[in-house]
Amino acid sequence: MQASAGFRRHKGAALAGILLLLLAACSSGPPPPPFASVADRIPPVSATEARIFFYRYYQIYVSMARPYIRVNGESVAISEPGGVLYRDVAPGTYLISVDSYGLYPGQNKTVALAAGQTLYVRVDSVRGYNAGFDAYDPEDFAVRIIEPGPAQADMLSLKYYGAP
């Protein structure tokens, strides 16, 4: 009879753990929509601002880290694997970077943006660039400026993480 009581206690603890996991999963909110389903509802960039779209492919064989995207050193977003987002900024010159463990040639970009302009920035994982002779493989990232046509086509298959 004691074995039965012990089994019930463990069974109850396991059930409570499963319920907590389910509750945590439900509290995270709905998944982001596909960018293709919302692209035509995004308002056009204001005539007094510039827009920067940031996107990143979902590639299971590369880093799933979520580094900060920075504009002039200030964090403006998190790079989501398989995600698209944008930020509107005042016209001007900006240094666009993404947090990275090591250095990679040309990993940051300086751009000049005019009022009404839209820029497309892809965040790429450059895994293995700073790897040493051991098993350590740091997570390095770089930003790439992509032409509007290819960038817009790339983004259609990704999830939309919105604007501020």
Segment 10-17 shows an average pLDDT of 52
Contacts of 17 (CB under 8 A, 6+ apart): none
Residues 161 and 32: their CA atoms lie apart, in Å, by 6
Phi-psi region of 78 (alpha: psi -120 to 50; beta: other; left: phi over 0): beta
What is residue 120's predicted lDDT score, i.e. its pLDDT? 98
Segment 49-56 shows an average pLDDT of 97
What is residue 151's predicted lDDT score, i.e. its pLDDT? 97
CA distances from 101 to 27, 72, 81, 130, 138 (A): 31, 18, 17, 9, 6
pLDDT digits (tens, 9 = 90+) for 132-160: 555 555 678 899 999 999 999 999 999 99
Q: Encoding tokens for residue 62?
A: 């590369």
Residues 56 and 160: their CA atoms lie apart, in Å, by 11
Q: Calculate the average pLDDT of the chain.
A: 82
Residue 120 · residue 148 · CB < 8 Å: yes
The third-level CATH classification (topology) of the domain covering 35-160 is Immunoglobulin-like (2.60.40)
Residue 7 has pLDDT above 50, yes or no: no
Percent of the chain past pLDDT 70, that is, above it, reads 73
